[in-house]
Amino acid sequence: MAEENSPPSVPDTSREASADFAPAPEKPYTPAARRKRRRNLVILVVAVVVVVSGLFLWRYFSSYESTDDAQADVHLYPVSARVSGYVIQVNVNDNQWVEKGTVLVEIDPTDYQVAVAQAQANLANAKHTAQSLNITVPITSVSTSSQLESASSGIEDASADVTAAEKQLTAVHAQLEQAQANDVRAQDDLHRYKLLVDKREVAPQVYDQALASAKSSTAAIAAASANESAAEQFIQQARSRLTQAAANHKSAETGPQQVSSTRARVRAAIADVEQRRAMLQQAQLN
């Protein structure tokens, strides 16, 4: 009975528990384990990089449409130079963002500098021509008026010379007729006195006087004939001067037209000056 009332015996588990919780003995860290651990770490890093890259590429390409016949709606702004020439310097790069007024390229200015100099010379020459023509307008006006007056006076003088020459010719012709009449009488007297002197009815001195008178009348005819020829020639000269004076007067009558023509040339020269000035401005803009 005593054995039945005694508490049951409890097995001693403290030693077993301490044996269960005792640390396991560490395994030795070999080089193979190190290589395996390093390989696992590299694989993990590569996997992370692949995942991140894939995520980035997915987000990038998901914002674009993929098609075989796509069309883009864009705004094109063509850029061209005002003038042509050789480019000596480019101030921007491809696809560079630029502001308004930015100098993109520089063109060789040599040809255009020469053009500006030539335009300046042409403008100066046109101004000189216009000034010269403008000066000639009053000179031409005065000259044409003077020429017209001189031509009118020349006509009057030539007409007077013709009239005087005609009168002189009339007088010389009358003198010739008188000399011819005197010569006829002198020749008749000489013939008569010749017969009388042969018959000894008159003195030889009378015959000699008749002979001298006949010779004198013959010489007077020759002189009158020469004067008549000279008078006729003078008339021809006077008439030629009259014709020339009439031509000069007709030419002088065109004086107003010459003045108008000179003024028209002045206006054309002034217009040429304006054109040259515009060409110079264009060359300077280039």
**What is the residue-level pLDDT of the chain in tens, covering all 286 positions?**
334 444 444 445 444 444 444 455 555 557 777 777 788 788 888 888 888 888 887 777 776 666 666 666 666 677 777 778 888 888 888 888 888 888 888 888 888 888 888 888 888 888 888 887 777 777 666 677 777 777 788 888 888 888 888 888 888 888 888 888 888 888 888 888 788 877 877 788 887 888 888 888 888 888 888 888 888 888 888 888 888 888 877 777 776 777 777 778 888 888 888 888 888 888 887 7
Report if residue 87 sits inside a domain: no
> Looking at residue 205, what is its pLDDT?
85
Domain of 217, CATH number, reads: 1.10.287
pLDDT in the model for residue 70: 62
| Residue whose C-alpha is closest to residue 112's, from 279, 278, 284 | 284
Asked if residue 19 is part of any domain, the answer here is no
pTM: 0.38
Q: Is residue 56 part of a domain?
A: no
User: Looking at the domain assignment, is residue 196 inside a domain?
Assistant: yes
Let me know if residue 16 belongs to a domain: no
Q: How many domains does the chain have?
A: 1
Domain residue limits at 123: 110-285
Nearest Cα neighbor of 220 from 266, 186, 267 is 186
- Residue from 102, 149, 103 nearest 249 by CA: 149
In-domain check, residue 50? no
- Specify if 204 maps to a domain: yes
Cβ-contact 182, 220 below 8 angstroms: yes
Q: Which two tokens stand for residue 154?
A: 């020349």
Let me know if residue 43 belongs to a domain: no
Q: Which of 282, 280, 281, 286 is nearest to 118 (CA)?
A: 280
